[in-house]
A and B are shown apart, each in its own frame.
Chain A
Amino acid sequence: MDKTMSIEEVVASLESGMTIGIGGWGARRKPMALVRAIYRSPLEDLTVVSYGGADVGLLCAAGKVRRVVAPFVTLDSIPLEPHFRAARQAGAVEFTEYDEGMFMFGLLAAAHRLPFLPTRAGLGSDVMRVNPELRTVRSPYGEAGQDGEELVAVPALALDAALVHMDRADIRGNGQYLGPDPYLDDLFVKAAARSYVSCERLVGPGGLDGPPQSLLVSRMHVTGVVETPGGGHFTESSRDGGPGGGPGGGPGGRPGGGRDEAFQRHYAAAAADPQAWAAFAGRFLSGDEAAYQEAVRRWHEEREEGTR
């Protein structure tokens, strides 16, 4: 059983108009290699469901997105994502804005084939105003002669496809994370009709060493797996740099596991200015993933030379 695919094969299996969930959180462990491949694909009209970061920003910049479903879009160390801001301020994307907990409940509902799950989160806030399709539900269990409590019924966030990035995976599609936080990646893959795992390092069956609790994604939920060393760049990821790198090795000679803050600053500055963005996109996003990794390596080299 070998579910190994190429980046291009994963993206070719997606269709315009799909609802696509993207794992990770903000600027952390995002499947950026797959996102970059969508960026240069003919796909369009996507609904992107994400605890959003540069994944949402890049796809907005490429005009791939009809609707964003998210509680936030942020680069963490840089609070606001410039491309997402620009798209919203231009009225270029629709937006379903949920509370972070509501969003998790939507994924939980979809992952467990429930139409909705109830929560207090959202009550009294403008989340109810800006999402007029949201309904409340009354608890059938009254207390002390009172009617049951009124709660927000968060609809299932069912996904056509989910994309997640793991530190390590095996060729059957089992995925392992080696950082401190699983985020909601297991819910994303369970909420999706099809799921694709990209990983820093691909191993054979039985090759996922480490605590069993780190085995986050099961092959029963995974359609395809693709090895993308540095594929989480520039988000926080890369806890398994592979042969020669070892756990903690990162691309471009960076210390492993960390976000590439210098490159993220470069991205954010470029994204805030159309001319600078054209140059950035030409240099980093016009080729395939290997070309991207090489361009990033050279960028760091030049930068280091510049500081000598």
Chain B
Amino acid sequence: MSTTGTGPDTGPMGAGAPGAAAGAGTGAAGTDATRAEVCVVACAEAWRGDGEILAAAMGTCSILGARLARLTFEPGLLTTDGGALLTAEPVPIGAPAGPVEGWMPFRDHLWLVQNGRRHVMMGASQIDRYGNTNISAVGDWARPKSQLLGVRGAPGNTICNPTSYWIPRHSTRVFVPRVDVVSGVGHDRAAELGGRASRFHGLRRVVTDLGVFDFGTPDGSMRLVSVHPGVEVEQVVAATGFDLVIDGDVPQTRWPTDGELRLIRERLDPKGLRDTEVRP
């Protein structure tokens, strides 16, 4: 795998073939977008306002979201090639880095977690109403029914960095009353630690294939922020194994703009990997 300077020139920022793809001049922006494309934009929104920090992403729509945010409304973000290199410009998913602006081997990721200039969007095999998450094991930890990855960096990420989640398949298997192993720390656990120990803890948002969620409630439990176009609130409730906070009428997640769609389709993910993660 090449490491420096050998990738294709990814072209000037935001350039797309004029007139190609993306709805021939329809009024409402991007209403022909697929669910995956809505998810990419919803993931991108997680990093809005973050400025000059590392957008650390896991999962296809999340990686695309970080790069899209950087190409559009959050140009200060730093993004990687999926490996140890900070790319000079966001590159297509899976493509070589091309020109680089920095080096971020695993050890430096781990130091950056401690340093704090990082907002991570992780996956979760289980998540509960307070945002505790599990990627370690299902069942009794001592002898699990299903051994998963291990806690990886989730404990440190959540206690040291703003954290969001991208969950491509929203279901009661994932959205559970209690997670079996707390890998990522939720609001109730953080509150128990007290204000000083948890002063860098912060769960920002959860994006799934059905909607967007946050924790903007008095006790830090999960709230439905928006449902994606074509999704009913009842559908989300039925796919969630705990009581969601739902305040009044739930708005729709915004459609991608035509410009965003062009960037996703023509620049960041021309091979359509997003559709293998969230089926059209």
If A121-B156, A182-B105 touch, whether A97 touches B150 (CB-CB below 8 Å) is: yes
- Against B, the Cβ 8 Å flags (1 = close, 0 = not) of A139-176 are 00000001001100000000000000000000000000
Q: How would you classify the secondary structure of chain B's contact residues: helix, strand, loop or mixed?
A: loop
Proximity bits, A16-38, B CB within 8 Å = 1, else 0: 00000000010000000000000
Q: For residues 119 through 139 of chain A, which have their beta carbon under 8 Å from a beta carbon of chain B?
A: 119-127, 129-130
Q: Closest B-chain residue to A73, C-beta based?
A: B150
Q: How large is the interface on A (under 10, 10 to 19, 20 to 34, 35 or more residues)?
A: 35 or more
Interface-lining segment among A5-13, A77-85, A217-225 = A77-85
What range describes how many residues of B lie at the interface? 35 or more
Is B221 among interface residues, defined by CB-CB distance under 8 A? no
A70: chain B residues within 8 A (beta carbon): 150
- Partner-contacting stretch, out of A40-48, A100-108, A201-209, A279-287: A100-108
Given contacts A70-B150, A80-B148, A120-B197, contact A180 B85 (CB under 8 A): yes
Residue ranges of B at the interface with A (Cβ–Cβ < 8 Å): 1, 3, 83-85, 103, 105-107, 110, 113-114, 136-137, 141-156, 158-160, 181-185, 189-190, 192-193, 196-198, 200-201
Is the CB–CB distance between B185 and A123 below 8 Å? yes
A150 lies within 8 A of B197 (CB): yes
B156 touches A120 (CB 8 A): yes
Q: Separation in Å of the A41 CB from the closest CB of chain B? A: 26
Chain A residues numbered 55-102 whose CB sits less than 8 Å from any CB in chain B = 70-74, 79-80, 84-85, 88-91, 97-102
Q: Given A52-B150, A123-B198, list of 4 further CB < 8 A pairs?
A: A79-B149, A119-B114, A124-B192, A179-B3
Q: A124-B193, A181-B84 in contact; A119/B156 too (CB < 8 A)? A: yes
> Which of B146, B147, B148, B155 meets A122, CB within 8 Å?
B155
Closest 5 CB pairs of A and B: A121-B156, A72-B150, A125-B155, A88-B147, A124-B185
Q: Does A267 contact B (CB under 8 A)?
A: no
> Is A277's beta carbon under 8 Å from chain B?
no
- In angstroms, Cα B114 to Cα A89, docked, is 33
Cβ of A14 within 8 Å of any chain B Cβ, yes or no, is no
Q: Which of A89, A127, A181 meets B151, CB within 8 Å?
A: A127
